[in-house]
Structure 1
Amino acid sequence: MTHKRFIRIYTRPTRTQDMEISLVAPALRMSPTPLSTVIYVGTGGKWEAWYVEKEFLRLMNAWASLVDRPDWSIDRHRSAFEEDWAVIERAVLELRSAAEDGWGNNLLPLYEVFTRVWDRYVPYIWFPWSITYVLEDRLRDLLQKWYADWQAIYDTLALPSESIQMHQLIEGLLEWKITGGDRERLQQLQQQFGHLNGYSVNDRYWTEKELEGLIAEYADPRDALREMRDGREQTRQKIEHIFSRLRHDDPVLYELARTIHMYVFLRTERIDRYKWGLMNAAPFYRAFERYFQLPSGSAGHLTKKEIIYACETGRVLEEEILHHRLKEMYITHFQKKNTTVIAEPNARDQFLAELIPDYFEKDGKETVRGRSAFPGNARGRVRIIQHAKDIRLLRDGEILVASMTHPEYMVGIRKAGAIVTDEGGVVCHAAIVSRELQIPCVIGTKNATKIFHDGDMVEVDAEKGTIKKI
């Protein structure tokens, strides 16, 4: 039995391979790292990430402490991000190109390079979480101490002044429609932004028809495009004014504010590139499946060790074991030197009972609490959104409840009477979009998706950060 307390930090629609090579294993390899173990529970087409609470908070404070160093510069950090991404991008393209030619002995070394280069991405994956858990509270406290208009400053810093990829896509589609709908331009947009539809090596690009559907609800493309660009320009001007004030008053506070504001953009950008990297590595996984005569999509559920073993020996997992991973709930247990997959139902349930004792308990709460991202009140029926494809089920005035919203939700999010999320902080997507669209929003509830169900009638008080059944 363990005395460690695990908490659920985030939920994502991804796979064993995706999270092992690009997120968890690199974090466990960091030196030093407080992380000793991480548990991923795969169920219902999504993954729940459980961390030891004390270890996770120590990790967040360690990343946040970078900002306290005298040599910290968000500009250098941004430059390093671009340089590191260039290395990852090259490895992805080399693996994709080789895999598209069919299976060959050259693929294994390229795959191993592909899995190693993601170590470079660890700082950009983890740093924005330190903003959520540490730095945004520090910024708010400092602003509140020195500025009468601190709330306006804080709220403005949390708006994007750079265009994220989803906004670039929507604006590109609106321009495409305004200029007559040239098919070649639509194909270019599909190639450039189609990866935003997925999250893993098993997902696919948006089709051209699906891209057209993203702007179907814009009655006047010209007005919509103008509104988007004018809003971003107004935000940019406000941000420049705030930075001018902070630079003059306190250089340290200025750099902290710039860091947090930069990650309003980078938090989403890093995930959009992550999606591109994994989805463009998909040809390797499909070639692996064809060569070893496995069901399509199954390679994404293997560990790195299992894929390398198969390539070296010609032997893959037994069919029954693979069946459990494809069809049932299973666990991936990450430790510093080993990754274990537990799919057999009895072993899985016993593991969860020992390490996360309350995992299967039903919560009888009628009210949940979080943090206000945008004030307001709303009543409506709950609509649980687990995947981007579900956003089209949202009806006008319904309360959107999700682990976290993502840019691809924008096609329907305007219909929401309010937004409620399990996760998130000031730079998360739900917080940003709620301020842009002025929709009441409560973030960081931790368990709203478990407490509420489709059709529940709830009242959202985004002033107090509460959601209760009525």
Structure 2
Amino acid sequence: MLFVRKNNSSSIYSKTNEHEYFIKQLHKKFLSNKNEIIKFKQRLIKTGKAYLFSAQTSKQVNLTLLSQQKLLSLLKVHYQNWLNFTVRIWVVWNSSEYFSELTGHLLEDKTRQCGQEAKLSQYLKYISTPVKKSSILLLNEKLNKYKAGKKIDLDKVYKDFLWMPCGDLHGEPWTKKQFLEYVNNFQISQDDGVMAIDPSQDLHLNAEEKLLIKVNREMAYLRDYRDEIRRRTVYFARFLYQEVARRFNITYEDLMLYSTPEVFELFKGHKLLARELQARRGDTIIIIKNNKLKVLVGQDRDKMLKEIVFADNSEVKEIKGLVASKGKVQGIAKIVSLDSDLKKINQGDIMVAVTTHPEYVIKMQLSSAIVTDEGGLTCHAAIVAREMKKPCIVGTKIATKVLHDGDLVEVDAEKGIVRKI
């Protein structure tokens, strides 16, 4: 496994054959027994609760009064819970897009066979609707009501959702001012008017096909659950790491350049040298092999990059993906790799992102269309775009690599194609 951070944007790479084998095994596991997805869901939720609880402890006690040993113990418990949760969200992150695409193709084929093409959008809405609403949808519902003139306690909403921007330990929670700016810029979302219909009866689906739809909807929920737990936990874990930084006279920003094993080494008196920290502020590679982690910078990083064979997208003329929300528009592409890139988005621009997050919603409302590298019919971008009735193509894999800021592009979300004009 390879983590590459370049220009403050991080990407994860694995060998193509290993990834394909992993997906095949997940397909076999979840579609061979109807109980497997339920058991997996239960385990993921259980480990998610433990992960969140271990971080909440840091807010419930006075960390400054803890002994070094007790603080280290809290860190190790939190780290183990993170590992237990992460191995399961890795399954969701890798497979939800696959199952979404598989389900979409199934419905397209079945509607043609059964002469039900007119209902395809209703079937797609059903299979792409999570079994339970995520926090971002609940937040949007509250703000829709507030914008419509209904009485909503914004102070309570702020306290309930201030963790929303905490995608990782670098992220910071909303200040009250930032939250109110978000509310002020929020636009009311209209229902798309499409009624969700369970396709099972109309399309005469067999047991395996019905199970595929169930797995897809459960994965849609777990994908959102994964993101919510991660953000809520990060909000609380920040207090824990801030205390570590204070004790060892390190800035929080520098501590974020340490790996977890290196954080543990601080308690033995081992700090990273200033020159190593300086090097890690630039482009970095983290390689994990045989359960061992290594950070590469400078010449070691450059040598590794030369050994990796990346796909050549220089001759790509058309970008293809899944239609998540129909429509066809032309506009100026703006590439969003980091949260800081959101400020580039102006009214009518086309947002081209690796993926989207809750804090992207305001800029998604300004965009005329949304295109993502990652995701399936049940991802955040797809769900929000349908609510906003904006053209959206997801799962292109290469859009952010092929397109550049300022490109005039056409998003044909009838056929799932993005073209440079």
TM range (shorter): 0.7 to 0.9
Residue 316 of structure 1 pairs with residue 271 of structure 2: yes
Shift of 1:322: 1.0
Tell me, yes or no, if the aligned pair for 1:215 and 1:411 is still in contact at 8 Å: no
Q: Which residue of 2 aligns with 1:385?
A: 336
**Which one is further off, 112-121 or 457-466?**
457-466
Tell me, yes or no, if the aligned pair for 1:103 and 1:288 is still in contact at 8 Å: no
Q: Which residue of 2 aligns with 1:349?
A: 302
Tell me, yes or no, if the aligned pair for 1:42 and 1:48 is still in contact at 8 Å: yes
Change (3 A) 1:427 1:180: closer
Tell me, yes or no, if the aligned pair for 2:3 and 2:10 is still in contact at 8 Å: yes
* Aligned pairs (5 A) from 1:183-222: 185-217=153-185
Shift of 1:142: 6.5
TM-score (normalizing by structure 1): 0.79
Aligned mate of 1:149, from 116, 133, 141: 116
Q: Which residue of 1 aligns with 2:258?
A: 302
Shift of 1:306: 0.8
**Which one is further off, 313-322 or 89-98?**
89-98
The 2-side partners of 1:249 and 1:358 are apart by: 40
* Aligned pairs (5 A) from 1:11-160: 38-70=1-33, 72=35, 74-98=37-61, 100-101=63-64, 104-105=67-68, 106-121=70-85, 122-134=87-99, 136-137=101-102, 140-141=105-106, 144-145=109-110, 147-149=114-116, 151-152=120-121, 153-160=123-130
Residue 163 of structure 1 pairs with residue 133 of structure 2: yes
Tell me, yes or no, if the aligned pair for 2:96 and 2:220 is still in contact at 8 Å: no
Residue 376 of structure 1 pairs with residue 327 of structure 2: yes
Aligned mate of 2:246, from 275, 290, 308: 290
Q: CA-to-partner distance for each residue in 1:180-228, whole Å, 9 max, x for gaps?
A: 67xxx43332232111112111221111222222232457xxxx48x46
The 2-side partners of 1:93 and 1:396 are apart by: 39
Task: Supply the AA of the counterpart residue of 1:298.
Answer: D
Change (3 A) 1:404 1:139: closer
The 1-side partners of 2:293 and 2:310 are apart by: 23
Task: Supply the AA of the counterpart residue of 1:337.
Answer: N
Q: Which secondary structure state, in structure 1, belongs to the residue aligned with residue 356 of structure 2?
A: coil
Change (3 A) 1:99 1:314: farther
The 2-side partners of 1:465 and 1:186 are apart by: 39
Q: Which secondary structure state, in structure 2, belongs to the residue aligned with residue 414 of structure 1?
A: helix
The 2-side partners of 1:453 and 1:314 are apart by: 46
Shift of 1:324: 1.4
Q: Which secondary structure state, in structure 2, belongs to the residue aligned with residue 425 of structure 1?
A: coil
**Which residues of structure 2 form unaligned runs of 5+?**
none
Shift of 1:67: 1.7
Shift of 1:117: 1.4
Task: Supply the AA of the counterpart residue of 1:281.
Answer: A
Q: Which secondary structure state, in structure 1, belongs to the residue aligned with residue 295 of structure 2?
A: strand
Shift of 1:97: 3.7
The 2-side partners of 1:50 and 1:87 are apart by: 28
**Which residues of structure 1 form unaligned runs of 5+?**
1-37
Tell me, yes or no, if the aligned pair for 2:97 and 2:395 is still in contact at 8 Å: no
The 2-side partners of 1:451 and 1:190 are apart by: 38
Shift of 1:74: 4.2
Q: Which secondary structure state, in structure 2, belongs to the residue aligned with residue 459 of structure 1?
A: strand
Shift of 1:66: 2.2
- Let me know the Cα RMSD of the aligned residues: 2.9
Shift of 1:283: 1.4
Task: Supply the AA of the counterpart residue of 1:314.
Answer: G
The 1-side partners of 2:14 and 2:22 are apart by: 11
Q: CA-to-partner distance for each residue in 1:74-101, whole Å, 9 max, x for gaps?
A: 4444443332222222211224445633
Shift of 1:112: 0.9
The 2-side partners of 1:381 and 1:48 are apart by: 25
The 2-side partners of 1:215 and 1:147 are apart by: 45
Q: Which residue of 2 aligns with 1:325?
A: 280
Q: CA-to-partner distance for each residue in 1:222-244, whole Å, 9 max, x for gaps?
A: xx48x46x97xx75xx35x4466
Q: CA-to-partner distance for each residue in 1:339-386, whole Å, 9 max, x for gaps?
A: 00012x2221111101x1448x88354443333323332111111122
Change (3 A) 1:165 1:75: same
The number of equivalent residue pairs is 413
Q: CA-to-partner distance for each residue in 1:365-421, whole Å, 9 max, x for gaps?
A: 444333332333211111112233543432222111111122221112122222111
The 2-side partners of 1:453 and 1:92 are apart by: 39
**Which one is further off, 446-455 or 151-160?**
151-160
Q: Which residue of 2 aligns with 1:12?
A: none
Tell me, yes or no, if the aligned pair for 1:377 and 1:459 is still in contact at 8 Å: yes
Q: CA-to-partner distance for each residue in 1:36-84, whole Å, 9 max, x for gaps?
A: xx11011222211111111111112222222223352544444433322
The 2-side partners of 1:179 and 1:439 are apart by: 26
Identical amino acids, percent of aligned pairs = 25
Task: Supply the AA of the counterpart residue of 2:172.
Answer: R
Tell me, yes or no, if the aligned pair for 1:64 and 1:131 is still in contact at 8 Å: no
Residue 276 of structure 1 pairs with residue 235 of structure 2: no
* Aligned pairs (5 A) from 1:403-414: 403-414=354-365
Q: CA-to-partner distance for each residue in 1:126-156, whole Å, 9 max, x for gaps?
A: 1352232256315633662464336332343
Tell me, yes or no, if the aligned pair for 1:286 and 1:297 is still in contact at 8 Å: no
The 2-side partners of 1:70 and 1:366 are apart by: 42
Change (3 A) 1:370 1:250: closer
Shift of 1:321: 0.3
**Which one is further off, 385-394 or 408-417?**
385-394
Tell me, yes or no, if the aligned pair for 1:391 and 1:413 is still in contact at 8 Å: no
The 2-side partners of 1:201 and 1:243 are apart by: 43
